[in-house]
Amino acid sequence: GAKFVHVVYHFARYVMIEDMKKLSVGTGIPFAEAVMRRPEDMYIAKARHRVAYNKLLQILQRQDFVFQEYKQKAR
């Protein structure tokens, strides 16, 4: 449901940030610090969050649809 998608989205974001921290060590490029900063325009940030969240939801729904189709064809 919606709570599961919310948890998956936040987990994916956390993994991405941790990966960026690991990859940016020693490069002199502060990617991770930029991601963790609060944006100046919260409206734009919330809109981007909604777009990313909705895209993830669409992908998960499409994947579930494909799985259901495979199950029906396998019968």
pTM over 0.75: no
Q: What pLDDT does 41 receive?
A: 79
DSSP letter at 30?
A: -
For residue 29, the 8-state DSSP code is -
Which helix or strand (DSSP H or E) is residue 75 part of?
A: none
From CA 74, how far away is CA 63, in angstroms rounded? 16
Q: Tens of pLDDT along the chain (75 residues)? A: 778 888 888 898 888 877 777 766 666 656 656 666 666 778 877 888 888 888 888 888 888 899 899 988 888
Q: What is the CB-side half-sphere exposure of residue 5 using CA atoms within 13 A?
A: 14
